[in-house]
Amino acid sequence: MDGFLKMSAWQGILHMPATYLRGGFLLGAYAEVRSRRFDTDAVLEKILQHDKEGFTSFYERYRGRVYRFIVRQYGTGEYGKAAYYSAWRHLVVSGLTIKTPKDLKRSFYSYLGKSVQNPGISQSTDMPSNYLPRDIEEDGNWSQVLMEHFKQLSVEKKRYFLFKHEIGISETAISRTLDVSRKDVEKGLREAESELREAMEDSGCPKKRSLERLYRESRVVKPPASWDQEIIDSFNMWLRQTEQPNQPEKAPVKSDASTGIAGKLGHFKDQVRSRISNLGKRDHQKAPRVRKLS
């Protein structure tokens, strides 16, 4: 009897479609895997509907990429945190006016590439560094060495490199996002990757360690938990702040207090000039009525 049951069970499994056996699961595993696959457009559509759950899902998916994209250009100081904060605020605010997920994503990337910039402050992260500790070389943690050499790249090359290797978009998409020619993007990427390869070879990194692999190994840096909480908690506040200006605005009431002393003095002078002018006009009009006594 036991042998019959075992044979029946195996026959049932053998007659199952191959799709149900993927990933070591039975009964609907393929559909389950598909449901777990992240649907970016669907989540962005929720953001367009001002859904906090959709925003949270998108944030949890992309927070690491956006964080590394920003702090590897501007550092983790006040400006880096402000830039990270403003990028996510832009995503929420843009969802009030943009109509499609594709346009929302493009607006978000464009903001990262063009609006989140402050060369004056970011110069501190561009300063040369000789930070190549022996323990890194001995342990073979070459991804950290790569990040030190990355600091030496120009602003444009950093941005091109991060868009390709961190955000994960093509040269064509980068050119559209930044409104620059594709040739400039391709040239900048070639030069950036060439400079990094040469620098890594000079540092003693084995040639078998590709640039792509080294950068993937560096993608373990995540934003602090406190930053995550601030971003998620700010979602409703950002919506309220942007919805208020859409309400009918009342005509501003001019007040003397808002004009200051100089404004008050100017207003008083205008009143005096007006009265003097009107007085002269009245005297001129009355002159013909005066009769001379003979």
pLDDT tens-digit map of 35-79: 446 789 999 999 999 999 999 999 999 999 999 999 999 999 999
pLDDT at 229 over 50: yes
Give the lowest-confidence range in 125-129, 194-198, 237-241: 125-129
pLDDT tens-digit map of 174-217: 999 999 999 999 999 999 999 999 999 999 999 889 999 999 99
H/E run at residue 144: helix 142-150
- CA separation, residue 165 to residues 48, 58, 89 (Å): 27, 19, 24
**Confidence at residue 98, expressed as pLDDT on a 0 to 100 scale:** 95
**Confidence at residue 213, expressed as pLDDT on a 0 to 100 scale:** 93
**Confidence at residue 110, expressed as pLDDT on a 0 to 100 scale:** 95
Q: How many CB atoms lie within 10 A of CB 28?
A: 12
146 or 243, higher pLDDT: 146
| Cα–Cα dist 190/160, whole Å | 10
pLDDT tens-digit map of 71-87: 999 999 999 999 999 99
Reported as a pLDDT band with limits 50, 70 and 90, residue 114 is confident
pLDDT at 20 over 90: no
Here the tokens at position 21 are 């056996």
Here the tokens at position 256 are 């003397």
Task: Over range 2-27, report the average pLDDT.
Answer: 44
pLDDT tens-digit map of 136-172: 444 468 999 999 999 999 999 999 999 999 999 999 9
